[in-house]
Structure 1
Amino acid sequence: MNGLEAARKRGRVGGRRPVVDDDERAAILARRQHGESIRTTAAGVNVSVGIVHKTLTDTEAP
């Protein structure tokens, strides 16, 4: 735990990098607002259907 705390103080954060960046997230949200299906959105942004679903779910959470 001391090592993790020391790494955080240096600005290092563990975990996997996000798959979608802010631009891709905005594109996903815009496409869904225009009524595109999740599959069509995923193909257009070149990510998996699961990533689109997770992005939409995370955005709707308070």
Structure 2
Amino acid sequence: MEAAAKRGRNGGRPSVVDDDKRPASLARHAEGQALREIHRGVGVSLAVVHGVVAAARSTETAEETV
């Protein structure tokens, strides 16, 4: 792994959510859209939308405790 990292190669699958899809998903969620509607509209899986929303909630919670 270290040799690969030195060559600039990182393991793992590339993220499906790019810089456009994450804010779009969160904005739709803030408007009150259902997660299923968001996943159909943005073009990612329902599990990905759940992950994006959960990550945003955990970030908000962490910021509130600081």
Scaled by the length of structure 1, what TM-score is found?
0.84
**CA deviation vs aligned residue, 1:12-58 (integer Å, no higher than 9, x gap):** 10001101111001100010011111011111101111110011112
For structure 2, list consecutive stretches of 5 or more residues without a partner in the other structure: 60-66
Identity of aligned residues (%): 47
How many residues of Structure 1 are paired with residues of Structure 2 in the alignment? 59
CA RMSD of aligned residues (A): 1.1
For structure 1, list consecutive stretches of 5 or more residues without a partner in the other structure: none
**Cα separation, 2, equivalents of 1:18 and 1:57:** 16
- Runs of 4+ displaced beyond 3 Å: none
